[in-house]
Amino acid sequence: MDIKRLVTTILISFAVSGCATNVIPTFNTSPDYSKLYLRGVFNWWEADEKYRLVQIEDNLFVTQIRLTADGQPYDFKFADANWSPELNCGYADESDDQIVTVNMFVRANCERTNEHFKFTPQETGLYQFSINFAGFGSPKVLIKLVTN
C-alpha cells in the first residue's frame, strides 16, 4: 500500500469515527401539562393555585370551581402562568367548539392565543373542568356538574 492511500484511509477513519462519537441532543417535545390552570372571567384570567389542574390519569387533568347560574356565559381557557404558546388551550374551531355544555366533549387547540371557550351553567353548583390529552388529535375538554 502506498503512503498516499494509507494517509487517505487514516483520515477517512478519523472523520467517520469522529462523526460517530458526536452526541445529538434530545428535545422534550411534550409540554408539561401539569403547569396548566383554569383561567377565565371568574378569576380575572389569573393563574390562581385554586384552579391549577391536577393530573388524575396519564393524560387527564381536572379542577373544580363553583359557578352561579345567572344566565351569563363564563369565558375560560386552560393556560400556564406565562401564557406560553404551547400551553395556551382555547377552542379548536371557530365554527363549532366555542360553546361548551355539560357532559359534551369539545376539541381544544393548545397553540391558540386569544380563542376562549364559553360556558353558561344552567344550575348553580360545583363544576369539574377537565382536559384530556390522550390519543391523537386535539385535546378534549369536558365540564361536569359535581354538586348543586
What are 31-68's pLDDT values in tens digits? Answer: 899 999 999 999 999 999 999 999 999 999 999 999 99
What is the CA angle 23-29-32, rounded to 5? 125
pLDDT of residue 148: 82
User: CA-CA distance, 116 to 100, in Å (whole number)?
Assistant: 10
Q: Are strands 117-119 and 99-100 parallel, antiparallel or unpaired?
A: parallel
What is the CA angle 99-100-101, rounded to 5? 125
Region for 137 from its dihedrals, namely left if φ exceeds 0, alpha if ψ lies in -120 to 50, beta otherwise: left
Q: What is the rounded average pLDDT for all residues in the chain?
A: 86
pLDDT of residue 136: 82
The low-confidence residues of the chain, meaning pLDDT below 50, are 20
pLDDT of residue 94: 65
Residue 52 has what DSSP assignment? B
